[in-house]
Amino acid sequence: MISAVLPTVNVLYENPAWIPPLREALERQGLRVRLVHVDEGSIDASALPPDGIWMNRISPSSHTRGHVHAVELTRQLLYWLEFHGRRVINGLSALELEMSKLRQDLVLRRHGIRVPRTVLAVGREHLLAAAATFDGPFITKHDQGGKGLGIRLFRGAAELGRHLDGRNFDAGPGARVILQEYIVAPEAFITRVEIVGGRFVLAMRSSTADGFELCPSDVCNPMPVNASGLFGPSPLAPDDPLVCKYIRLCLEEGIEIAGIEFVEDGRGRRYTYDINGTTNYNKVLGRQIGVDGMGEVARYVHWVAGAFVELEAGSLRQV
């Protein structure tokens, strides 16, 4: 049986707290899991990578957990793996897109998806000059973001200048700061669409009433969903035109697992602003809507593993 010879799933990760749901779901699919913690390490350019398929689970917020080298080391690891023909789920192209809000904006535009005006700036002078070009309020965020890092609302360049001169200013990795048009939503929530393997999995609403740190995983939210009021189901349909655009984007850009977020203004216009590759799921919300997000990920990985075995067997028959 193919299941008896499925390749090991090598998981590149940096946050141990996010691993148990993924590992349990993969093991329920009969997959062998090898965890590879990434922060410090070495790569022998003359050596072959271990066999198996690989998953990239490195987050842009890894530096906030003390793993300051995780992203840069992962860049080299993924290049090494792909150079040697290893199958990587959410490989180097997906990693690079997740690590830059500016690149996400450009890719979204390429696929005809509405985005808020976005400017990247490095350095105080350029930040203030960029701020002066906005006609209305704008927000700042880290270009390499995650967890709502660096998100603040400003009414103008003078207000930003006072913040830059304060003690709490943090420009984030590489000091790359994003200034982005603030979209006024009639209701305080954003919508997140989860896609796995080119398929719609679920859509959820996340409340922004108390801020923008909206990690949906159970680890990030000790309170039950119903008690916290942070997350709830969205009525967005799988065949919604925007969802279809998201799926096409993922397929064409090499993003196999993603959570994509948008906000809707008072005129019903939807602005997409974030693509998350290291997506997590809330089990309580999943039970409420009847969807096991991590289970869907594991089923997709199992399918990839099976296809990998069949491809290898076909190659051997050709030889």
pLDDT value at residue 149: 82
Q: Is the pLDDT of residue 205 over 60?
A: yes
Residue range 193-201: mean pLDDT, rounded: 97
CA distance 140 to 178: 5
Which long-range CB contacts under 8 A does 38-43 form with residues at least 24 apart? 38/12, 38/13, 38/14, 38/67, 38/70, 38/73, 38/74, 38/77, 39/14, 39/67, 39/68, 39/69, 39/70, 39/73, 40/69, 40/73, 41/73, 43/76, 43/77, 43/80
For 96, the token pair is 């690079």
- Per the prediction, the chain carries an average pLDDT of 91
Distance between CA atoms of residues 55 and 76, nearest Å: 15
- pLDDT tens digit sequence for 52-88: 999 999 999 999 999 999 999 999 999 999 999 999 9
Q: Is the pLDDT of residue 246 over 70?
A: yes
What residue has token string 């792909």? Answer: 82
pLDDT tens-digit series, residues 138-186: 999 999 988 788 899 999 999 999 999 988 899 999 999 999 999 999 9
- Over range 28-47, report the average pLDDT: 97
Q: How confident is the model at residue 310 (pLDDT cuts 50, 70, 90)?
A: confident
Can you state the angle between helices 101-110 and 241-253, rounded to 10 degrees? 110
Stretch 209-214: mean pLDDT: 60
**Percent of the chain residues topping a pLDDT of 70:** 90
Domains along the sequence of the chain with CATH: 2-97+297-318 (3.40.50.20), 118-181 (3.30.1490), 185-293 (3.30.470.20)
Residue 4 in this model has a pLDDT that exceeds 80: no
Choose the weakest-confidence range: 54-63, 67-76, 212-221, 288-297: 212-221
- Mean pLDDT, range 201-230, rounded to an integer: 65
Secondary-structure breakdown of the chain: helix, strand, coil percentages, each rounded to the nearest 5: 40, 20, 40
Interior/surface letters 169-185, b for 16+ CB within 10 angstroms, e for the rest: bebbbeebbbbbbbbee
Amino acid at 74: T
pLDDT band at 219 (very low <50, low <70, confident <90, very high): low
Q: Angle at which helices 293-318 and 19-28 pack, to 10 degrees?
A: 50
